[in-house]
Structure formats: structure tokens, C-alpha cells
Amino acid sequence: MNPYLVAGAAAAGGALIAPVAAPAVLGLVGFGAAGPVAGTMAAAMQASIGNVVLGSAFAGAQSVAMGGALPVVGTAIAAGISGTTAYVAKLFF
């Protein structure tokens, strides 16, 4: 099978799954609906950052965890990672 076709299909799948999976994955590292959960990786990151800057990656992650939409850049990154991984895997397997 053509590796470009595999990469394209994986990229489309990553773009479709990312908005659904992102809140769940962020919950695993401690981003909750009411803010970072005490004793988690997210809480440790916030403690090390101090004041969280508007528009930062941390602020974006917290926004998504609290029910905000995944930014387009997040969907694009998920698509790129999925497509690249599938392409490389197809070359070797």
C-alpha cells in the first residue's frame, strides 16, 4: 500500500480524534474542569510557572480541559504526528 495514502488517512484520523481525546488525555495529567488537580503533574507545572500567561500552552491546555474547544493548532499537530508516525511505520513494516 502507498505510504502517502496511509499517512493521509492517519492524519485525517488524528484530526478527527484529537478534539475528543484531548480533554481525556489532559485529565490524565491533572487538568480538571475546575483547574489543576492538587498533587498532579498539572499542579506541579503551575507551581513552577507561577502566574500563568494568557495564551500560553498551559492556559490553552487548561481551557480545553475545562470544556473549551481544541485550538486549530492542536488539531493540526495531532494530524501531523499521526500522519508522520504512520508514514514512517509504513516505510519500515
* Strands 35-36, 31-32: pairing kind: antiparallel
CA distance 81 to 86: 8
Domain boundaries, the chain: 3-92
CA distance 80 to 8: 9
Distance, in Å, from the CA atom of 86 to the CA atom of 27, rounded to the nearest integer, reads 26
Q: What is the pLDDT of residues 27-78, one digit of tens each?
A: 999 999 999 999 999 999 999 999 999 999 999 999 999 999 989 998 999 9
Is the pLDDT at 2 greater than 90? The verdict is no
